[in-house]
Amino acid sequence: MSSSCNSTPAAGAATIQLMKLQLRAEAAIEPALVSTSEASKKTQIIAIYGKGGIGKSFTLANLSYMMAQQGKKVLLIGCDPKSDTTSLLFGGKACPTIIETSSRKKLAGEPVAIGDVCFKRDGVFAMELGGPEVGRGCGGRGIIHGFETLEKLGFHDWGFDYVLLDFLGDVVCGGFGLPIARDMCQKVIVVGSNDLQSLYVANNVCSAVEYFRKLGGNVGVAGLVINKDDGTGEAAAFAQAAGIPVLAAIPANEEIRRKSASYEIIGRPDGAWGPLFGELAAAVAAAPPVRPKPLTQDALLGLFSSDVTGRDVVLQPATTLDMLGKESIEKKSLEVVYDTV
């Protein structure tokens, strides 16, 4: 008994030493280099980012429809937890999401099939990744889970000309930056308007692209789509300062707003807005991914007049009197300070 007890500390020490050696061996392994080669896929995978409510889904529904009418095979994937990317395309009808479908199928012991999550209209194929209910999970993790399911369904073998990914741009957790961080797309398009908040988001996306380019990534920004353009020019000025082209300017138009609200596609070749979306489709296809030049906060604010941004405000430091409503007695620090020789 005593010999057994005496051997335990020695065995434990040997185990700890072995673990240390294994950890050192793992630490010595150099990480794999990020690929810097040109994208070789025939399919153009394009991630579209923008502030929530700026009109990404409207732009993408009409863009994908126009591309299909031009004879292209297009897949539109909604990557927003609201799952509203495809609602305009399908006349307001909700599309079953990959996350809810896979959960239901898993409980039933059944595999997910393409027909369970992918639907089509007039040549456009579309699906929604979905997300958790409010307060019940991480939206970014839902995105990652959705793409894992797509890979199991054979995503990389599908023969599409274009895959358009609709991403919420004002959420910065990992899942929403997946296409940029992991080179899952060849280029990024940002949708913005002539307002500070949407351009702030667009600038953040440019910053993310630049960050991963410095790490060896390949993704670039193909350009900016200006939605609800009122002609004031801030979005165009941002694009010029950031070194990216304006792919299209969709006007702030009552007919467009009304038809969009009633889930009507306006990007039809024979429609009044057909030429606009036809030119946008051509620009999206041809625009090369460029390395953007993100603006500083001051430079971004400089695109707007001071009465819009409050740039003339001076920061005034708060005092203890402000915080307590009375003067307080200064307490001596207990920190020991040693004199240096």
Q: Which residues are known to be catalytic?
A: 51, 56, 82, 170
Cα 42 from Cα 158, distance rounded (Å): 11
Paired tokens of 126: 């579309």
Across 71-85, b (16+ Cβ under 10 Å) vs e yields ebbbbbbbbbbebbb
Angle (nearest 5°) at CA 51 between 34 and 278: 85
CB 56 within 8 Å of CB 271:
no
In the chain, % helix, strand, coil (3-state, to 5) comes to: 40, 15, 45
DSSP string for residues in 21-69: HHHHHHHHSPPPPPP-SPP--SSEEEEEEE-TTSSHHHHHHHHHHHHHH
**What three-state secondary structure class fits 266?**
coil
| Distance, first Cα to last Cα, the chain | 59
Cα 46 from Cα 74, distance rounded (Å): 11
Could you tell me which of 185, 153, 158 has the C-alpha nearest to residue 73?
158
Backbone angles phi and psi of 318, in degrees to 5: -80, 155
What kind and span of H or E run contains 143?
Answer: helix 139-152
